[in-house]
Chains A and B, each alone.
Chain A
């Protein structure tokens, strides 16, 4: 007998939904028959605002596009402008940038651990991982002055040099976080309930993954080894030694394990960065930001954020203001077309679980 279909609005005011967005579900009994993503609740018109701002004024704006991990945005815009202008970046600044990006990745993974286990009903984990994330935010605060938004990376380098003894404090924090990993394993990754919830849920078919535009941990969770840091190395990633973890299965569990291993890789990358970081300038001369003309040109740059490829398409027409900055958030594809496909057949209780595992981040979908 065919069950009656009901429409269920999940969000925007819903504790399980990742941010301010809504998924309109058609359910038959407990099973999702059709899913439709509704976004736009966080549309602040950043791309329009950047067209009426000077180049330097764009930097405080772009970091607000993705809240859990703002640094890839700054990195992308800075690198795009550098590419159009042909501006050189000192070696030390490149190392500092990699360190900031990896710290941001770790902070974001810790926040994801909290969200992922929280949506499975495991409420101890957020208390631990979000609390530990604050140690990284403290480092950011010391380095840049801001906990969440840093506005630290800018064209030609970074805004400030590392404070005295900062490297030691980073290493100390890394040691602490590494010592916490066994605890996280016991509580979350080796937890039988979590494994039962995560295995076989939200499966992305491997043969479709590339065509559907899946990137980042969801792609690597399908066993396909692609990472912007390897495919198109930026900054100094080609001089660092790290592996790109992959996992077979394409389900929530595989994505969780990929992120779990990426966390370890980030720790190792930052340690290498601190070891290899040269002395010297941390920025090249920045032009007067009030009269800064970027020559006409265009650039598409991309960074591996924690959710996948984060791209910026920047067009300059040789004026004081950008012509067009178009952001490709990793969640743009994951949160709309992919989510609508893989939610079909899922249980209602798994919807927010799957959303968390894809890292759906609505501010970068609608910007």
Chain B
């Protein structure tokens, strides 16, 4: 799908293949063209920035999901980790009461961010350990963690939502809404965060030894293991990264809303999986890339935003999104069906 799967780009060139391999790109162009034609408000800079900052949440989640799917696994817990981490961040900003010390701690925002990401990584690592060491199938392990993380988030808040996360100047913990509201050079911070995450992940996949290990163990774990690839370490790492990125997405979302609720991010894992699949990754592992996944995330985000703008009912949006996913999987099986794997 992208530079990450075929290292030296000296393959032959044909229109059919270009259309097939660049399908997510062409789909995105088509979506933008159609909605720009249908609505004058669609093709404006401000609309693209708004849509992009919504895509950022799914985009960050789908990068983590991509790593897990490349490994041949799946991570159903990302939506719940997102909520759990948002709630943890909210709790820290509202103040952590240490009863034995008789104080209420108000950690500064940078500390909140670091701790929250650490919590996400820890929950992700739990997924990884379950899958790699206890041989729990990824679907089941992350399904369980999905319920547990959601339940813990509900317990922590008693089902309520932390509102007003702007912090207090007197306590020195203001600035949390910077992530969600501010812009650098006119670009929303959340989009910049997404870009950084995507570039780092892309570099890791295409240029680092770890990236090669990941593709190899996703493509054929037994062969990778016999070639000296530390397949368990790779597994734990991808789930950990996925958890950490879920925390990042949770922070961005909580910051955009300046509130953190335990029911945030419900079914986001499915959107993230859809983005990865639309981006051409194979659910069997070993094939896919960051570029495709980003296109997949934008296809979903721009499609549903466009449908809202032209006033299509949200029920139809669901139908459209589903149709796009099925179409994408059909295309994947056309692309990977011929050649390659022989049984």
Are A and B part of the same complex? no
Residues of A within 8 A of B (CB): none
